[in-house]
Amino acid sequence: MAGANRDFDSAAIRRDFPILATQINGKPLVYLDSANTSQKPNIVIDAMSKFMRETYAPINRSAYTLAANATELYEGARNAVAKFINANSSQEIVFTKNATEALNLLVNSWGRANLKTGDVVLLTHMEHHANIVPWQMLQQERGIELRWVPLTSDYQLDLTSLETLLSGVKVFSFTSMSNVLGTINPVEKLCAAAHAAGAIAIVDACQSVPHTHTDVRALGADFVTFSSHKMCGPSGLGVLWGRKELLEAMPPFLGGGNMISEVRLDGFTCAELPAKFEAGTPAIAEVIGLGAAVEFLSSVGMANIRQHEIAMSSYVLDLLTTRFGDDITIHGPRNPELRGATFSFAFRGIHPHDLSQVLDQSNVCVRAGHHCAKPLMKIIGANATARASFYLYNTTTDADALADALDSASDIF
Amino acid sequence: MPGIEDLYREIILDHYRTPRNRGELQPPAISSEGHNPLCGDDIRIYLDVADGVVRDVKFSGQGCSISQSSTSMMTVAIKGKTVVEVGAFVRRFKHMMTLADNDEPVDESINLGDIEALQGVVKFPVRIKCATLGWNTLLEALTESTK
């Protein structure tokens, strides 16, 4: 049961998130859209506010004390993120606008430098558009071939033909956890298979880094991308981790200030990592906010968060199937150990857009639509689904509120 | 917060449960497809135009109650109208949806009939795209028909 974890004090965690005390029309907020974007704890809000009130200044380019202090906070946050995912060095942490930009950086920099006509990139049927469209853009430009790992009937990647699919592949780029199905993929195994076939492994870890302990070295990946705003940090910030030797060999992505060591009329030389990939003034306050977010998540304990979400998954699956039986179809694995607490579902034939509108009457916030994974939606035979996603601050009370609100939707349609 | 009853009026739910003019028309009728990138809904409008008059109209596709009922009501309203009348009718509807499309004047005397029930959608701005999906697709089909 959720809450049985003695190291996990749900009430205390909820108090850390001021928005969860917000009421709309006199009713509490039931926020079940964290796979989309997570809410922010006080420590993040305060760190950003304190920085902007007391220390705001440019980084990496001015000698005065205020700027030096700002740079120290910014780089301190980079160190915190590096430690959080067990990177070898903070030089391997590149800050981007979002995870989408991190993937675009890889396709444009590594992809353009290493892929030519006829080269093969392997993706999966569960990818987010951010891990599909940039490759398709390169395909249009360069004529690379895209191959796809299909799904099994129980919403896992079908790995029976993986070796064949990987034959001749240069890049295997895949999600660590489906943002639609909740399926957790065997990342270590997939990275090892990619390497055995001579391919590099890129992991879109947006849905797993916020929810479970991530050790990029243990995963064996070459590149890992994730987003700040899904892990209690601010929006406008993504992270690219890459093995140093690969990042060093890559050409720059965006050009401009901060990313150069020298510019002449006849050319330029790049700055060292990670500045090479951080052209222009970065999201300074946001990076400092993310530093606070990883401090917060670490203090709660990623293993505790994962245990809480397994318990939540177990509770939600039992609740929805017991209460609604065949009236609800959950598109995702039934085993809580094999999934995150993200549930896409169809309910009594009610269109997800209508469903989310009615749930909103009870302040139950769920996503409705294709979740930026249209190819996957087509494969599971849905134009759209409703999606309820749970995080460390959600409790069984939220799940019960969802179930009650679903019942009220039937009254209208 | 506006009440849900402002959105799901009985006439809207009626057209959702029992859509009118659902189906397809064979060529030479022309067709146009519209997508709502927000929610993945798609609608196809089939239009049979002869001598400047909409002789027949049908629609297919998937969508929420608002997009489906709005399109259903639209097909009922435009059948038999001239292309020019339909253009003015669409402008009047989009005006109600607070979408001032262009500088062309809106004839406020045009009676939208049952379609007035969709007025409540304006209080739920995210849903305006649902309500106008079929109408924008119709405009594309009309453009196609005059080529």
Domain spanning B4-145, CATH class:
alpha beta
Task: Give the CATH architecture of domain A10-31+302-412.
Answer: Alpha-Beta Complex (3.90)
CA max distance for chain A: 71
pLDDT of A233 reads 98
Taking the C-alpha atoms of residue A179 and residue A156, their distance in angstroms, rounded to an integer, is: 13
> Which of the four CATH numbers 3.40.640.10, 3.40.190.10, 3.20.20.80, 2.60.40.1220 does domain A46-299 have?
3.40.640.10
Q: Which residues of A touch B66 (CB under 8 A)?
A: 353-354
Taking the C-alpha atoms of residue A285 and residue A73, their distance in angstroms, rounded to an integer, is: 9
Of A24, A357, A369, the CB nearest to B40: A369
pLDDT tens-digit readout, B75-129: 999 999 999 999 999 999 999 998 866 677 889 899 999 999 999 999 999 899 9
pLDDT of A3 reads 44
Q: Are strands A120-124 and A169-175 parallel, antiparallel or unpaired?
A: parallel
Write the ipTM. 0.86
**Chosen from B39, B66, B68, B121 to mutate, greatest number of chain A CBs within 10 A:** B39
Domain layout of chain A by residue ranges: 10-31+302-412, 46-299
pLDDT of A210 reads 98
The answer to whether the Cβ–Cβ distance between A383 and B42 falls below 8 Å is: yes
Per-residue pLDDT tens listing for chain A (413 residues): 444 565 689 999 999 999 999 999 899 999 999 999 999 999 999 999 999 999 999 998 888 999 999 999 999 999 999 999 999 999 999 999 999 999 999 999 999 999 999 999 999 999 999 999 999 999 999 999 999 999 999 999 999 999 999 999 999 999 999 999 999 999 999 999 999 999 999 999 999 999 999 999 999 999 999 999 999 999 999 999 999 999 999 999 999 999 999 999 999 999 999 999 999 999 999 999 999 999 999 999 999 999 999 999 999 999 999 999 999 999 999 999 999 999 999 999 999 999 999 999 999 999 999 999 999 999 999 989 999 999 999 999 999 999 999 998 888 88
Of A25, A353, A383, the CB nearest to B130: A353
Cβ neighbours around A120 below 10 Å, total: 18
Taking the C-alpha atoms of residue A409 and residue B93, their distance in angstroms, rounded to an integer, is: 28
Catalytic residue among A206, A232, A365, A372: A372
Domain layout of chain B by residue ranges: 4-145
Q: Is A206 designated active site?
A: no
pTM: 0.94
Which SS3 state, helix, strand or coil, does residue A369 take?
strand
Beta carbons of A87 and A241 less than 8 angstroms apart: yes
Q: Are strands A267-270 and A364-365 parallel, antiparallel or unpaired?
A: unpaired
Please give, rounded to a whole number of angstroms, the shortest distance from the CA of B72 to a CA of chain A.
16
Closest residue of B to A27, CA-based? B1
Task: Identify which of A102, A111, A128 has the alpha carbon closest to the alpha carbon of residue A240.
Answer: A102
